[in-house]
């Protein structure tokens, strides 16, 4: 419930004229009819017991519970579920608000067993946040303007068990890979970005934007003979400077790089979202990104971008990776509406990207045609699309794919996203998926002041649980694997066996898996 509550956003509304008087809590098969006033006094008592309420109705009911159930109820009610800095502000101002609150309505009911009103919850939370820094479960129960609530904790336990099974599936992937002996791989990559070989900026006038599109150009003095160049797209909330470390490494290895800035879904847009200055429309953002991509490709072909090259490798993080896959001609598998209905019914907290995938499908943003000619290859970091392209029914792409994921990613978990996409979309023998142990959804993002720590001067002030372990080491691994993949495009034959590696200095482990191994993992 703490996790559910942290996803709740506040919008607008008037302060309730009356508050909850009684709440029914279903736990251990027993329905406890409780006074909210007594419940609040019990939870907030210094000793956390009902000694002061020995003659109350509450104490009678509490004696029916097992000690661990009573302790769990207290923790639930005290748990801070919302704060002024909660990322739930942006989530529930988006399309994903509806499915989440509908699922939450299965756990919380009002009089006569009716679903709790969505706008009622949102307006109540808004008013609570105006009064206090954090909001607990008990605060919400006390403030909701309804005389009686029913909180089904048994149903919550059932939902938690489903999430636990999903986590166990991902843990099984880690265990299967961890059993493999890894050979040491020294990564002596030293980042060198001097002022003389840093990026140059171009501004492209485009019809779909009121302001010119900003593109950073990283052009080596001696481009490679294969005449391949890289177009790189950040994810939602990402900026070009988050990926300077990778653009620099590719430029030093001889590949020209164009690094896009997608205003409207970049860091500035997310900051405005957090501050309540604007909302987010995922479908509109993807359509705009696809137009950005087409405009840059046209400008390069016409010589207006001043980046040498004949064939392009599309590269992107998260939403940027999805943009690349769509541009490469990956056709949406029919039945998306039914797959979304099934996925959203169970609150996809172990794969939050499913919310975005379903929003994009509902907004018809996944439709479109492939770019011509097709790209030389696609590289996706923390890519998503497991609902869009189910691995058992997708039409494979003829071009090489490199998909990179991390074992700590619960936004685009590797088993349901990168590994599944490799099993369903890959056909070319050079394709592979790389799974990095300890990496998360945000590991590829370099932020100012990150240094050797797990935090830096980034927008979200992310800790290790989101950034992952050893992010700089993970980034060295990613650069190594990207360069290894790009170099392999012009070599034959391609290896078809799995490779398990470990960096000698940081002990970071990663696994390079071909399509055949990805299919085996999906079938287990």
Say how far apart CA 307 and CA 310 lie, in whole Å. Answer: 10
Q: Is the pLDDT of residue 456 over 50?
A: no
Say how far apart CA 475 and CA 473 lie, in whole Å. Answer: 5
Query: Is 396 exposed, middle or buried (CB count within 10 Å of its CB: 0-12, 13-18, 19+)?
Result: middle
Task: Identify the weakest region by mean pLDDT among 3-12, 259-268, 338-347, 366-375.
Answer: 3-12
DSSP per-residue codes, 28-57: TTEEEEEEHHHHHHHHTSTTSSSGGGTTSH
Q: Is the pLDDT of residue 19 over 70?
A: no
Say how far apart CA 175 and CA 214 lie, in whole Å. Answer: 43
More confident residue, 447 or 360: 360
Q: What is the mean pLDDT of residues 404-430?
A: 93
What pLDDT does residue 197 have?
A: 66
Instruction: Decide: 355 and 344 in contact? Cβ < 8 Å.
Output: yes
Give the pLDDT confidence of 88-119 residue by residue, as tens digits.
555 555 666 666 666 666 667 776 667 777 67
Give the pLDDT confidence of 38-65 residue by residue, as tens digits.
778 878 776 545 454 455 667 777 777 7
Instruction: Decide: 407 and 521 in contact? Cβ < 8 Å.
Output: no
What is the H or E stretch that residue 214 is in? strand 213-218
Say how far apart CA 490 and CA 213 lie, in whole Å. Answer: 32
Q: Is the pLDDT of residue 487 over 80?
A: yes
Residue 121's pLDDT band, with cuts at 50, 70 and 90, is confident
Estimate the share of the chain in helix, then strand, then coil, as percent rounded to the nearest 5: 40, 15, 45
Q: Is the pLDDT of residue 491 over 70?
A: yes
What pLDDT does residue 99 have?
A: 67
Region of residue 425 (phi > 0: left; psi between -120 and 50: alpha; otherwise: beta): alpha
- Strand, coil or helix: 503: strand
What pLDDT does residue 453 have?
A: 39
What pLDDT does residue 108 have?
A: 73
What pLDDT does residue 194 have?
A: 45
Q: Where are the domains of the chain?
A: 2-161, 194-447+461-488+496-523
More confident residue, 123 or 233: 233
What pLDDT does residue 109 have?
A: 74
What pLDDT does residue 190 have?
A: 56
Say how far apart CA 298 and CA 274 lie, in whole Å. Answer: 34
- State the Cα torsion 209-212-216-219 to the nearest 10°: 110
What are the distances in angstroms from CA 87 to CA 91, 176, 329, 341? 7, 33, 33, 24
Percent of the chain with pLDDT over 70: 79
Give the pLDDT confidence of 304-349 residue by residue, as tens digits.
999 999 999 999 999 999 999 999 999 999 999 999 988 887 667 7
Q: What count of residues does the chain have?
A: 524
φ/ψ (deg, to 5) at 158? -60, -40
* Residue where the block lists tokens 């405009």: 295
- Strand, coil or helix: 425: helix
328-361 per-residue burial string, b: 16 or more CB within 10 A, e: under 16: bbbebbeebeebbeebbeebbbbbbbbbbbbbbb
Give me 380's structure tokens.
Answer: 């996706």
* Residue where the block lists tokens 């993949």: 485
Say how far apart CA 45 and CA 40 lie, in whole Å. Answer: 8
The CATH fold assigned to 194-447+461-488+496-523 is Rossmann fold (3.40.50)
What pLDDT does residue 13 have?
A: 33
Bridge-based pairing of strands 148-152 and 22-27 is parallel
What pLDDT does residue 389 have?
A: 96
- Strand, coil or helix: 158: helix
Residue 227's pLDDT band, with cuts at 50, 70 and 90, is very high
Task: Identify the weakest region by mean pLDDT among 81-95, 176-190, 507-521.
Answer: 81-95
Give the pLDDT confidence of 190-207 residue by residue, as tens digits.
555 544 567 999 999 999
Residue among 10, 1, 43, 13 at smallest CA distance from 145: 13
Give the pLDDT confidence of 421-431 residue by residue, as tens digits.
999 999 999 99
Residue among 61, 78, 63 at smallest CA distance from 25: 61
Say how far apart CA 70 and CA 245 lie, in whole Å. Answer: 51
Residue 213's pLDDT band, with cuts at 50, 70 and 90, is very high
* Residue where the block lists tokens 């704060």: 83
Region of residue 79 (phi > 0: left; psi between -120 and 50: alpha; otherwise: beta): beta
DSSP per-residue codes, 96-142: THHHHHHHHTTTEE-GGGPBPPHHHHHHHHHHHHHH-SEEEHHHHHH
What pLDDT does residue 390 have?
A: 93
Query: Is 319 exposed, middle or buried (CB count within 10 Å of its CB: 0-12, 13-18, 19+)?
Result: buried
- Strand, coil or helix: 284: helix
Cα 143 → chain centroid: 32
What pLDDT does residue 140 have?
A: 79
Prediction pTM value: 0.81
Give the pLDDT confidence of 236-288 residue by residue, as tens digits.
888 999 999 999 999 999 999 999 999 877 777 766 665 666 667 889 999 99
Residue among 466, 471, 465, 440 at smallest CA distance from 453: 471
């Amino acid at each position: 419930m703490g996790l559910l509550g942290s996803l709740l956003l506040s919008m607008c509304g008037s302060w309730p004229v009356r508050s909850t008087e009684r709440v029914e809590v279903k736990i251990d098969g027993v329905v406890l009819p409780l006074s909210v006033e007594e419940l609040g006094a019990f939870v907030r008592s210094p000793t956390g017991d009902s000694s002061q309420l020995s003659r109350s109705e509450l104490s009678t009911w509490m004696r029916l519970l097992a000690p661990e159930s009573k302790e769990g109820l207290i923790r639930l009610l005290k748990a801070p579920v919302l704060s002024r800095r909660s990322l739930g502000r942006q989530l529930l101002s988006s399309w994903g608000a509806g499915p989440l609150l509908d699922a939450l309505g299965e756990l919380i009911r009002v009089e006569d067993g009716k679903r709790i009103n969505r706008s009622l919850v949102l307006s109540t939370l808004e008013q609570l946040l105006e009064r206090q820094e954090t909001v607990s479960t008990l605060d919400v129960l006390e403030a909701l303007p309804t005389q009686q609530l029913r909180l089904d904790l048994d149903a919550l336990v059932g939902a938690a068990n489903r999430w636990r099974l999903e986590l166990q599936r991902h843990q099984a992937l880690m265990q299967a890979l961890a059993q493999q002996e890894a050979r040491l791989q020294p990564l002596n990559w030293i980042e060198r970005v001097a002022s003389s070989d840093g990026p140059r900026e171009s501004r492209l006038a485009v019809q779909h934007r009121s302001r010119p599109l900003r593109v950073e150009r990283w052009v080596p003095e001696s481009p490679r003979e294969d005449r391949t160049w890289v177009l790189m797209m950040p994810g939602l909330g990402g900026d070009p400077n988050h990926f300077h470390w990778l653009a620099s490494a590719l430029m030093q290895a001889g590949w020209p790089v164009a690094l896009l800035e997608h205003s409207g879904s970049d860091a500035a847009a997310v900051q405005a979202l957090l501050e309540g200055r604007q909302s987010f429309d995922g479908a509109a953002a993807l359509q705009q990104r696809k137009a950005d991509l087409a405009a840059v490709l046209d400008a390069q072909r016409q010589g207006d971008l001043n980046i040498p090259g004949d064939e392009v490798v599309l590269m992107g993080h998260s939403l940027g990776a999805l943009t690349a896959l769509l541009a490469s001609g990956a056709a949406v598998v029919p039945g998306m509406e039914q797959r979304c209905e099934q996925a959203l019914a169970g609150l996809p907290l172990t794969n939050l990207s499913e919310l975005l995938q379903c929003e994009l499908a509902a907004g018809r943003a996944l439709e479109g045609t492939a770019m011509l000619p097709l790209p030389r290859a696609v590289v996706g970091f923390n890519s998503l699309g497991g609902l869009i392209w189910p691995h058992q029914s997708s039409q494979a792409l003829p071009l090489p794919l490199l998909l990179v994921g991390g074992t700590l990613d619960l936004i685009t978990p590797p088993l349901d996203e990168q590994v599944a996409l490799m099993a369903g979309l890959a056909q070319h023998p050079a394709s592979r998926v790389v799974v990095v142990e300890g990496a998360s959804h945000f590991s590829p993002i370099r932020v100012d002041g990150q240094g050797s720590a797990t935090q830096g001067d980034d927008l979200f002030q992310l800790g290790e649980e989101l950034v992952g372990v050893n992010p700089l080491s993970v980034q060295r691994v990613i650069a190594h694997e990207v360069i290894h993949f790009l170099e392999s495009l012009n070599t034959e034959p391609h290896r078809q066996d799995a490779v398990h590696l470990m960096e000698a200095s940081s002990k970071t482990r990663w696994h390079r898996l071909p399509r055949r191994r990805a299919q085996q993992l999906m079938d287990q």
